[in-house]
């Protein structure tokens, strides 16, 4: 039976409830008066100086997803843009993945790390190699990483991951530093989540891949990842272990997108109901070509239009959750999705183990083909030219603004008073230390314009002072 407060995977991601939802959505997809009510509910409301948004349930959002009416889709897009603007402004947070090891004991059919893949070169970074990778990432200007690893308790035990995190945080090269390490490793125990928390991680990210149990078991035929319940209940264990920022995700293409979408929102509702805080981020990867992997083998691929609609509806349904888009997607797709709700992008990513220290983009250990291969400077310049503020901010987590504290600040819009100045400060650091001449010129002019928009005079004064100090060589100011 469906119970969003249950801690059992099959009760909070309940198959019957998903089927009922999809059926109800299909029956009501042309019910214009119901659709208008849902759109009205989703719209941000001004109460005094604050903007409020109540989000949508999985059922409401599924009705909108089922609706093909062009005018409704336009309204969905415009509400998503409105929410994006109200809560995130023009800020886009930038990060890079760091692949530590591609040794893996699982048999995931869609992933090139699967243990039977003899075509991929297996590699695990030593601490010295990690140091070199981090220096290369710092030299580009990165401040925030997501570490990635295959599942293998012999080659990549939790001690290896913890030691790697310590190494990453310890490196201070020139003016560089990695200030937030997010972690994307396989589902693990409460004890291990506690250790990750103690190591000072930011978000714990784990993609569900597919919420459909039978499909999940077929796609993960062997290895520890085969266990659907253990994987699906991982975020509850992570939260029990003290990690309050967790990142969900679905690998689109494996199962029907309407099923995944409803289940993903049910997962978010479950976390909110049980732990009082929803997911910090949601990622929306699509299956890509990789060594020994052909995306056309999976017949649930979604086109760019459906993909955009999903992103816009996630923005509307969970207004306070960050949406992440990786370099799996090309520049054009990323550009469209930025407007509709994406708040974080990866830049200059290399998905091969040890890829950042090699001159040529290596492909023999790669996890998937990278569509957007631009440099970080190019990504920053692109964002600025589109009117976005590229942000390398990591302040919230370092100031203890995580979990429900972050969410409540976010919900009252107060986060804006920190995020905007912090984005400007970290952009200034990037421009001073790493940018090309052209990017620096565009960025400095952009900062002047952004300063003019700040209404709170005391915030403005402190910020202007910080910017001057950065020019003199000081770093790491934050609100």
Query: How many chain residues interact with ligand SAM (CB under 6 A)?
Result: 21
**In degrees rounded to 5, what are phi and psi of residue 13?**
-110, 80
> Binder to ligand SAM among 212, 220, 328, 428 (CB under 6 A)?
328
Nearer residue to ligand SAM within complex by CB, 58 or 328: 328
For position 324 contacting ligand SAM by CB under 6 A, the verdict is no
Interaction of residue 206 with ligand SAM, rule CB under 6 A: yes
- Residue 334 within binding range of ligand SAM, rule CB under 6 A: no
Q: Does 246 bind ligand SAM (CB under 6 A)?
A: no
Based on the shown chain and the rule CB under 6 A, indicate whether residue 255 belongs to the binding site for ligand SAM.
no
Binders in 176-205 for ligand SAM, by CB under 6 A: 184-186
| 150 lies in the binding site for ligand SAM (CB under 6 A) | yes
Which CB atom, from 22 or from 287, has the smaller least distance to ligand SAM?
287
Determine which residue in the list 101, 210, 367, 381 makes contact with ligand SAM, applying CB under 6 A.
Answer: 367
Give dist(CA 283, CA 341) in Å, integer.
12
Nearest distance in Å: CB 113, ligand SAM? 7
52 DSSP β-pair partners: 45
Tell me how far, at minimum, the Cβ of 299 lies from ligand SAM, in Å: 15
Q: Are 317 and 79 in contact (CB under 8 A)?
A: no
- Going by C-beta distance under 8 Å and a sequence separation of 6 or more, which residues neighbour residue 474? none
Q: How far is the CB of 217 from ligand SAM (least distance, A)?
A: 15
The verdict on 216 binding ligand SAM (CB under 6 A) reads no
Smallest distance, ligand SAM to C-beta of residue 7, A: 20
- Asked whether position 91 contacts ligand SAM by CB under 6 A, the answer is no
Which is nearer to ligand SAM, 329 or 450 (by Cβ)?
329
Q: Is 329 in the site for ligand SAM (CB under 6 A)?
A: no
Distance (Å, whole) CA 203 – CA 184: 9
- Applying CB under 6 A, among 12, 110, 259, 397 the residue interacting with ligand SAM is 110
Is residue 245 within the footprint of ligand SAM (CB under 6 A)? no
Nearest to ligand SAM of 95, 368 (CB atom): 368
By C-beta, is 286 or 309 nearer to ligand SAM? 286
Nearer to ligand SAM, 215 or 422 (CB): 215
**Binding of ligand SAM at residue 287 (CB under 6 A)?**
yes
* Cβ at position 303, least distance to ligand SAM in Å: 16
- Check binding of 251 to ligand SAM (CB under 6 A): yes
Closest CB to ligand SAM among residues 59, 209: 209
Nearest-approach distance from CB 293 to ligand SAM, in angstroms: 5
Going by C-alpha positions, the residue among 286, 369, 372 that lies closest to residue 334 is 372
**CB closer to ligand SAM out of 75 and 220:** 220
Task: Map tokens 């008066």 to a residue.
Answer: 33
430 binds ligand SAM (CB under 6 A): no
Binding site for ligand SAM (CB under 6 A): 110-111, 148, 150-151, 184-186, 206-207, 209, 225, 251, 285, 287-288, 290, 293, 328, 367-368
């Amino acid at each position: 039976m469906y119970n969003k407060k249950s801690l059992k995977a099959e009760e909070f991601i309940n198959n019957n409830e998903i089927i009922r939802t999809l059926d109800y959505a299909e029956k009501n997809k042309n019910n214009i008066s119901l659709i208008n009510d849902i759109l009205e509910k989703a719209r941000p409301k001004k109460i005094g100086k604050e903007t409020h948004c109540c989000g949508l349930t999985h059922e409401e959002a599924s009705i909108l997803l089922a609706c093909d009416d062009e005018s409704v889709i336009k309204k969905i897009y415009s509400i998503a843009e409105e929410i994006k603007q109200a809560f995130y402004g023009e800020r886009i947070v930038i990060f890079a993945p760091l692949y530590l090891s591609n040794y893996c004991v699982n048999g995931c059919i869609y992933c090139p790390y699967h243990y039977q893949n003899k075509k991929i070169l297996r590699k695990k970074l030593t601490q010295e190699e990690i140091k070199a990778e981090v220096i290369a990432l710092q030299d580009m200007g990165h401040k925030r990483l997501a570490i990635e690893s295959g599942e293998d308790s012999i080659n990549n035990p939790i001690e290896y991951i913890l030691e790697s995190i310590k190494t990453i945080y310890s490196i201070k090269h020139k003016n560089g530093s990695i200030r937030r390490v997010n972690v994307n490793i396989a589902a693990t125990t409460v004890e291990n989540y506690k250790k990750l928390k103690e190591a000072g991680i930011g978000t714990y990210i784990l993609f569900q891949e597919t919420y459909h149990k039978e499909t999940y078991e077929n796609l993960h035929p062997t290895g520890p990842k085969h266990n659907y319940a253990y994987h699906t209940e991982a975020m509850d264990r992570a939260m029990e272990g003290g990690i309050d920022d967790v990142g969900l995700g679905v690998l689109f293409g494996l199962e029907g997108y309407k099923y995944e979408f409803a289940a993903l929102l049910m997962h978010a509702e479950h976390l909110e109901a049980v732990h009082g805080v929803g997911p910090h981020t949601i990622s929306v990867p699509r299956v890509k070509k990789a060594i020994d992997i052909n995306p056309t083998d999976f017949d649930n691929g979604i086109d760019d239009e459906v993909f955009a609609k999903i992103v816009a509806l996630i923005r509307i349904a969970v207004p306070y959750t960050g949406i992440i888009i990786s370099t799996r997607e090309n520049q054009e797709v990323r550009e469209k999705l930025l407007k509709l709700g994406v708040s974080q992008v990866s830049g200059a990513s290399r998905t091969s183990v040890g890829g950042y220290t090699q001159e040529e983009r290596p492909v023999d250990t790669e996890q998937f083909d990278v569509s957007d291969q631009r440099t970080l400077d190019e990504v920053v310049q692109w964002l600025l030219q589109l009117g976005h503020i590229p942000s390398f901010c990591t302040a919230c987590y370092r100031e203890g603004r995580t979990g429900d504290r972050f969410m409540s600040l976010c919900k009252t819009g107060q986060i804006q008073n920190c995020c905007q100045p912090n984005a400007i400060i970290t952009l200034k650091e990037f421009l001073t230390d790493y940018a090309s001449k052209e990017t620096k010129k565009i960025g400095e002019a952009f900062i002047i314009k952004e300063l003019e928009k700040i209404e709170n005079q005391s915030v403005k004064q402190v910020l202007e002072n910080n910017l001057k100090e950065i020019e003199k060589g000081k770093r790491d100011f934050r609100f």
